Structure 1
Amino acid sequence: MSTHTIDTSTPVIPADAYDTTTFFADPDTIAVVTNTTPDAVPLPAADASTAELLAAAQESGRRVVPEPFAETALVARPLLHRAHLPVPDGPLSYAIAPELTVRYAHPAASPVGSSGCLGDDDTLLVTGTLRRVPWARAAAAVVVLATAPFGPVLLTLTPDQAALTPGGNLAEEPRDDLHLAALEIPASHVRRISPELLDEARLRAALARSALIAGAAERCVDLTVTHTTARTQFGRPLSRFQAVKQEEARLIEEAALVRAAVQAAAVPLDTGGTAAYFAVAAAKTQASASATEITRIAHQLHGAIGITRLNPLHLATTRLWSWRDEDGDETYWAHRLARPLTATTLWPTLTTTP
Structure 2
Amino acid sequence: MTDELRVLLDQVAQDLWHAVEPSAEASRRLWDELESLGLTLVGAGEALGGSGGTVSHAAEVAKAVGRHALPLPIAETVLVASWLLESAGLSIPPGPLTVAGAGPGDSLAGRLDGSGLVISGTAEGVPWAAESARIATVVQAGGQWLVALVDPALVKVEGGVNLAGEPRQRVHYEVAVGEAGYRTLPFTVEEVRQRAALSRSAQLFGALEGTRELTLDFVGRREQFGRPIARFQAVAQAVAALAAEVSLARVALAVAIRAAEDEQAGEIECGTAKVMTSRAARLVSAAAHQLHGAIGVTAEYPLHQLTRRLWSWQDEDGTEDEWSARLGAAVAGDDAWAVLSAIEPGTCRSRKDTA
Question: What TM-score, normalized to structure 1?
Answer: 0.84
Secondary structure of the equivalent of 1:226? helix
Distance in 1, Cα, partners of 2:33 & 2:17: 19
Match of 1:61 in 2: 66
- Determine which of 284, 289, 292 is the counterpart of 1:299: 289
Alpha-carbon distance between aligned partners in 1 of 2:306 and 2:237, rounded to the nearest angstrom = 22
Query: Residue 331 and residue 205 in structure 1: after superposition, are their counterparts in 2 closer, same or farther (change >3 A)?
Result: same
Question: RMSD of aligned C-alpha atoms?
Answer: 2.5
Give yes or no for contact 2:73–2:97 (8 Å, CA) kept in 1: yes
Q: Aligned ranges for residues 81-92 of structure 1 at < 5 Å?
A: 81-92=86-97
1:166-181 matches, cutoff 5 A: 166-180=159-173
Which residue of the partner structure matches residue 235 of structure 2?
244
Matched residues in 2 for 1:328 and 1:12: separation? 32
Q: Find the counterpart in structure 2 of residue 129 from structure 1.
A: 122
d(CA) in 2 for partners of 1:5 and 1:328? 31
> What is the distance in 2 between the residues matched to 1:170 and 1:71?
18
What is the count of residue pairs matched by the alignment?
324
What is the alpha-carbon distance in structure 2 between the residues aligned to residue 91 and residue 102 of structure 1?
A: 24
Correspondence list, 1:230-269, <5 A: 230-269=221-260
Structure 2 counterpart of 1:96, from 101, 109, 113: 101
1:145-192 per-position Cα deviation (integer Å, ceiling 9, x unaligned): 122233211111011111121211111111122222x31121221222
Structure 1 residue 73 corresponds to structure 2 residue 78: yes
Distance 2:295 2:88 in 1: 48
Q: 1:9 aligns with which of 11, 18, 39?
A: 18
What's the offset of the Cα at 1:32? 7.0
**How far apart are residue 18 of structure 1 and its match?**
4.7
* Structure 1 residues 52-81: Cα deviation after superposition (integer angstroms, max 9, x where no partner): 111221122111112111111111111101
Matched, 1:314 2:340: no
1:265 partner SS: helix
- Unaligned runs of 5+ residues in structure 1 are 34-41, 107-119
Asked if structure 1 preserves the Cα contact closer than 8 Å seen for 2:125 and 2:168, the reply is yes
Conservation of the 8 A alpha-carbon contact between 1:23 and 1:31: no
For residue 57 of structure 1, what is the amino acid of its counterpart? A
SS in 1 for 2:130: helix
Q: Alpha-carbon deviations, 1:92-124, whole Å to 9, x = none?
A: 1111345213223x3xxxxxxxxxxxxx35x12
Deviation of residue 280 (structure 1)?
A: 1.0
Q: Please give the secondary structure, in 1, of the residue aligned with 2:314.
A: helix
d(CA) in 2 for partners of 1:25, 1:294: 32
Structure 2 vs 1, CA of residues 76 and 43 (structure 1 numbering), >3 Å: closer, same or farther? Answer: closer
Cα displacement (A) at 1:199: 2.9
Question: What one-letter code is carried by the residue in structure 1 that aligns with 2:145?
Answer: P
| Cα distance in 2, alignment partners of residues 320 and 349 from structure 1 | 32
Distance 2:153 2:108 in 1: 18
State how far apart, in whole Å, the 2-side matches of 1:99 and 1:177 are: 11
Q: Tell me the alpha carbon deviations over residues 220-275 of structure 1, each in whole angstroms, 9 at most, x when there is no partner.
A: 111111111111222221111100000000111111111121111122113334x5
Q: 1:253 to 1:68 in 2, by over 3 A?
A: same
Give how far 1:311 is off.
0.8
AA in 1 matched with 2:281: A
**Residues 291-320 of structure 1, C-alpha deviation per residue, up to 9 Å, x if partnerless?**
100100000001111011111000000000
Q: TM-score, normalised by structure 2?
A: 0.84
Aligned pair partner of 1:30 in 37, 43, 50: 37
- Tell me the secondary structure at the aligned position of residue 72 of structure 2: coil
Q: Which has the higher helix share?
A: 2
**Aligned residue runs from structure 1 range 261-280, under 5 A:** 261-273=252-264, 275-280=265-270
Contact 2:88/2:147 (8 A) holds in 1: yes
Any idea what SS the aligned residue of 1:266 has?
helix
Question: What is the DSSP-based 3-state SS (H/G/I as helix, E as strand, rest coil) of the residue aligned with 1:263?
Answer: helix
Which has more radius of gyration?
A: 1
CA 1:125–1:346 in structure 2 vs 1: closer, same or farther (change >3 Å)? closer
Q: Could you tell me which amino acid in structure 2 is paired with residue 23 of structure 1?
A: W
The amino acid of 2:31's aligned partner reads: F
- Alignment partner of 1:146: what SS? strand
Structure 2 vs 1, CA of residues 51 and 238 (structure 1 numbering), >3 Å: closer, same or farther? Answer: same
Report the CA distance between 1:30 and its aligned residue: 0.9
Task: Tell me if the contact between 1:21 and 1:138 (Cα under 8 Å) persists in the aligned partners.
Answer: no
In 1, the alpha carbon distance for the partners of 2:128 and 2:157 equals 11
For 2:330, which of 331, 340, 344 is the aligned residue?
Answer: 340
Asked if 1:20 is matched to 2:25, the reply is no
1:184 corresponds to which of 155, 176, 180: 176
Distance 2:338 2:168 in 1: 39
